[in-house]
Structure 1
Amino acid sequence: MFKKVERQALYVWMYSLKWRKKLQRYGTIYYTSPKMKYVMMYVNSNRVAEVRKELNSKNYVKRVSLAHRKELDEHFVLKSSESKREEKE
């Protein structure tokens, strides 16, 4: 049976994008921005610290930052028109 693996997004800022193919060994490349020279990639959550440390040691990487999506609350509640009326009164 398929088992869900928790993943974390990393933003890897590079000096040159000609090295982006080398990043495939660390995780799945999801997006590349040629103008801003960064790569968004997904890495297994249990390997984030290890991969981040290793990428920071590479000479073609400027910096590595984590995506904060896991920290955000994704449960949004829409206010109904009735509750808006009650707030006005």
Structure 2
Amino acid sequence: MYVWVYSLKWRKKLQRYGTIYYTSPKMKYVMLYVNSEKISEVRKELISKNYVKRVALAHRKELDEHFVLKSKNTEEED
């Protein structure tokens, strides 16, 4: 879950909702891990906070995690 805030001083308050993996000082967002069972209730609660600009869910579950590596021989044949 990505949470955009007005100021990063609110980062400590976000720790109570989940685990913080990354903070971007320039873009003022926090990447927050939340258990899948709690996502909807945490999202509703965060949206209601004054210090939160926007909340977006990560698309990791939609990505295909099985990658196929091409060898150099197959690249030359194409």
Relative to the length of structure 2, the TM-score reads: 0.89
Matched, 1:68 2:59: yes
Whole-angstrom CA distance in 1 between matches of 2:68 and 2:21: 29
Residue in structure 2 matching 1:48, options 35, 39, 60: 39
Q: Greater CA radius of gyration, 1 or 2?
A: 1
Q: Which runs of 5 or more structure 2 residues have no equivalent in the other structure?
A: none
Q: 1:82 to 1:34 in 2, by over 3 A?
A: closer
Matched, 1:78 2:75: no
Note the C-alpha offset of 1:78.
Answer: 2.0
Matched residues, number = 77
One-letter amino acid of the structure 2 residue matched with residue 56 of structure 1: I
Task: Give the RMSD, CA atoms, in angstroms.
Answer: 1.5
Whole-angstrom CA distance in 2 between matches of 1:35 and 1:83: 39
Whole-angstrom CA distance in 1 between matches of 2:74 and 2:50: 58
More strand by share: 1
Relative to the length of structure 1, the TM-score reads: 0.79
Over 6 Å off, 4+ runs: none
Q: Which runs of 5 or more structure 1 residues have no equivalent in the other structure?
A: 1-9
